[in-house]
Amino acid sequence: MTLNPHTCLTASIHAYRIHQNDRGRVHLEFLHKTPVDDVPGAVAPFQGRLLAGVGRILRIYDMGKKKLLRKCENKKIATFITNIETTGYRIVVNDIQESFHFLKYKRNDNQLVLFADDTNPSFLTCGCILDYDTVAGADKFGNVFFKRLPTDVRDDVDEDPTGVKALWDRGVLNGASQKVDTVSVYHIGETLLSLQKAVLIPGGSESLVYTTISGGVGMLVPFTSREEIDFFQHLEMHMRQENPPLCGRDHLWYRSSYSPAKNTVDGDLCEQFNSLEYSKRKSIAEELEKTPAEVSKKLEDIRTRYAF
């Protein structure tokens, strides 16, 4: 395979069966090999079939006796498919440089219809479905962001309502006719390699755990009340003023390196409250109409609710 220009001599999808013999030993049994015309960058199970991203083409394959059988495909993904996730009949496709694409499989017509995509091109490294309308993603520049389908988005759309493949029917910005909204953006500072919803302690609340290319593990947690949001936003604002970085770099500028930080509070900065000298802690707590012990208790509560 040559990365630039993107070409490959040969590519194929191999099918295996998990086989158990009479003695209870488990091994993989090779079934068949299906040649494809580009690099298969992602595969995922879907309704008892196989979804495969072959280059920029999304295909549904069914199991055959001698090879996989192609059932339907969509050729409207921009560049190269790196990951596929499904929820019901909805399919979320990660493009290597054009962010997320939302598709719906119409079983009656046997069609994969692209009904929404993103206006901000992102070089995605990983993604995760949070709920039926929301996804989280990260790009190679160290940003993490959340995208949500607006409430008026309809996934029951026709691929070509005119029936004549009209040249002027190209959706918005040469893409899908509907666009996702950016809910939140935050600059982590390292390239993220994985995102996953997880519960880290028994009986704890669900959080979004990420890992970075340098071996770091972090988590993003949701606020549960408006009071918490106001408290931590004001604490972050005071920490920016009272505890500036040693090298003089502006905190808000750093967290907004590629796009303005939105709807996110820097927990690492808030945690530094306990390491400040007492006079600074007391002045910040008075501004928040609390005592230093109450501020520390707030920080401890949100930490123990999700992690440790």
Report the C-alpha dihedral over residues 237, 239, 242, 244, rounded to 10 degrees.
-100
| First and final C-alpha spacing in the chain | 45
User: Under DSSP, is residue 287 helix (H, G, I), strand (E, B) or coil?
Assistant: helix
Residue 3 lies in a domain: no
212 and 235 belong to one structural domain: no
Residue 172 tokens read as: 């918005």
For residue 203, the model assigns a pLDDT of 84
pTM: 0.87
Query: Of the residues 157, 188, 220, which one is the last residue of a structural domain?
Result: 220
Instruction: Give residue 81's pLDDT band: very low, low, confident or very high (50, 70, 90).
Output: very high
**Cβ–Cβ < 8 Å for 97, 79:** yes
The answer for 248, left when phi > 0, alpha when psi is -120 to 50, beta otherwise, is left
pLDDT digits (tens, 9 = 90+) for 127-157: 999 999 999 999 999 999 999 999 988 888 7
d(Cα 9, Cα 104) in Å, to the nearest integer?
32
Residue 43 lies in a domain: no
d(Cα 143, Cα 258) in Å, to the nearest integer?
8
239 and 146 belong to one structural domain: no
Domain total in the chain: 2
The mean pLDDT of 111-140, rounded to a whole number, is 93
CATH of the domain at 161: 2.130.10.10
Per residue in 119-158, is it b (16+ CB within 10 Å) or e — as a string? eeebbbbbbbbbeebebbbbbebbbbbbbbbeeebebebe
Residue 138 lies in a domain: yes
pLDDT digits (tens, 9 = 90+) for 70-79: 999 999 898 9
Q: Which residues pair with 35 in a beta bridge?
A: 12
241 and 273 belong to one structural domain: yes
- Burial of 26 per CB tally in 10 Å (0-12, 13-18, 19+): exposed
